Amino acid sequence: VLSSIRVSVIVPIMLLAIKESAVDMSPFVRKTAAHAIPKLYSLEPEMKEELIAVLEKLLADRTTLVIGSAVMAFEEVCPDMNELIHKNFRKLVSLLVDVEEWGQIVIVNMLTRYARTQFTDPNLGQTESADAAEDE
């Protein structure tokens, strides 16, 4: 509820609440913290570095309830920071089946973009060798 108040005076209070909520025991509280991150970012883009630190913790979470929301926040705040995905890639792939439907869509889109930019094309060498075989 605090993150829905669009007043820049309470930004430090919102950031503190998000930081504390991101390490709470309850996955519902951590999920809510993930939902608040894009709202705070849209209100105060200069807080990006602090929000990325919180996002890093949320992306490392092993709870499927939190992962979908964390990736959604990641997509809105810093979609090009692949270094946050590197260490969590295998976990995201393995938890994908158990994440809620809307979270699955966001995670699949993010993982597809990640794979296209980070993995080499497996067909890259095959076209050259296939052309050489046809010439013989």
Quote the pTM value.
0.82
As a whole number of angstroms, the distance between CA 61 and CA 111 comes to 17
Region 45-69 average pLDDT: 93
User: For residue range 123-136, what is the model confidence (pLDDT) as tens digits?
Assistant: 777 766 555 556 66
Distance (Å, rounded) from C-alpha 54 to C-alpha 58?
Answer: 6
Spatial CB neighbours of 86, under 8 Å, sequence gap ≥ 6: 118
Residue 73 CA to residue 30 CA, distance in Å, equals 12
Cα of 96 vs its chain's centroid, Å: 13
Question: Of all residues in the chain, what percent carry a pLDDT higher than 70?
Answer: 91
- Amino acid sitting at position 68: G
